[in-house]
Structures are given as structure tokens and as C-alpha cells.
Amino acid sequence: MEQAAELMGATLNQFVVQIAYLEAQRVIERESLIRLSQRDARKVLSLLDTPPKPNKHLKNAVKEFKGSVRAQD
């Protein structure tokens, strides 16, 4: 690591902090993105364009949710 830091023109501490920062950014980006195949992306877009009608389970879930949440004044 010392050699790599030297090649980068940084102290070992600066090098380690920079590498940790870059890795943290990579992890956050990887975990923040949703990757879909083209087929799945077309399906999602199709459902957004023409959503299905609410079924009985969805209607019941909405009722339960509304019954458990109070509006704030």
C-alpha cells in the first residue's frame, strides 16, 4: 500500500482514506440502482402506462392503511 500511495503522490493515510471513500461511493451506487433486463423494463413501463385495476386485496390494504394513519393538523 505504501508503494501505491507513493505512486499516487499521497501519504499512506491519504491513500487509504481516498480508497475507502471511492469504495463507499461504489457500494452506495450499486445498492441504490435497480437493474432490469430490457424485458422487465418494458413490463414496468407498460404497467405504469396502463396500471391494472385494483383488486380486492389492494382495496383491503388501502382501507387498513387509512384506518391506521391519522392526519396531522
Question: 7-53: per-residue pLDDT in tens?
Answer: 999 999 999 999 999 999 999 999 999 999 999 999 999 999 999 99
State the pLDDT confidence band at 69, using cuts at 50, 70 and 90.
confident
State the pLDDT at residue 42: 97
Alpha-carbon separation of residue 29 from 2, 20, 22, 34, 53 (angstroms): 28, 14, 11, 10, 34
Residue 73 has pLDDT above 80, yes or no: no
Query: What is the pTM assigned to this prediction?
Result: 0.50
pLDDT at 40: 97
| 18: CB partners within 8 A, 6+ apart | 8, 10
For the record, the C-alpha cell of 39 comes out as: 424485458
Q: What is the pLDDT of residue 49?
A: 97
Angle, vertex CA 6, rays to CA 21 and CA 4, nearest 5: 60
